Amino acid sequence: MNLPAAAAAPRAAIEGHFSVLAPNVYFDNHFDLEAAKILPGEYYVTQHDMVLVTVLGSCVTACIRDRLSGIGGMNHFMLPDARPDSDNPVSLSARYGAFAMEVLINSLICLGARRTLLEAKVFGGGNVLPGMTTMNIGQRNADFALGFLSTEKIRVVARDLIDVYPRKVYYFPKSGKVLVKKLRKVHNDTIYRREIEYGARLVKEEVAGDVELFG
């Protein structure tokens, strides 16, 4: 595990319920690399040659790296279920989305990434949780991530969003390479159950703290 990343990450990110440094680090024999598995509400940053892995339903992941140093990371989040004021930039929904993105970016900068060299790849937002909300939550998640990155002037160099299938994403920050597999046949309900449980936590809990971008 990259202890410098954990030490540098904002305290609210580590102690709060919304964005947690991913604890599941293992060796991937297929890629012959150390790997980190990112679950809903988690993120990971690294300066080493690793593969970051996540499985997405309606959630989105932002894969962000310094294109010269290869310092990069991944998050995995969704917006809380829609509220009447969900389009308000100070609403709980928008505040949580911004928190999830800012924690990742600030952690990258703490590791030495340069903000002016950041580039992003965005995935997920599938319409895989019918009935969860009156709006398409996958579309809302995708729109938020793209809008946030546009506002922060972080260039999006690749995306694979929406559709009706879950996705498995492998991200290699050192090179910027991404492998995406659409899971057209899912043999159990693990993906859906994780996202439903995660969505329920977001409704019950408050944002752990505000994070300001720096660098």
- Please list, in sequence order, all residues whose beta carbon lies within 8 angstroms of the beta carbon of residue 101, skipping any fewer than 6 positions away: 62, 75, 145, 148, 149, 152
Q: What is the C-alpha to C-alpha distance for residues 108 and 44, in angstroms, rounded to an integer?
A: 9
Tell me whether residue 59 is one of the annotated catalytic residues: yes
- Please list, in sequence order, all residues whose beta carbon lies within 8 angstroms of the beta carbon of residue 4, skipping any fewer than 6 positions away: 47, 111
Which residue out of 5, 52, 59, 122 is catalytically annotated? 59
Q: Which two tokens stand for residue 72?
A: 């990069």
- Phi then psi dihedrals of residue 190, to 5 deg: -60, -45
Provide the strand spans (E) within the chain: 20-21, 24-28, 33-37, 42-46, 50-56, 60-66, 72-75, 118-124, 155-161, 167-172, 177-182
For the annotated catalytic residues, the residue numbers are: 59
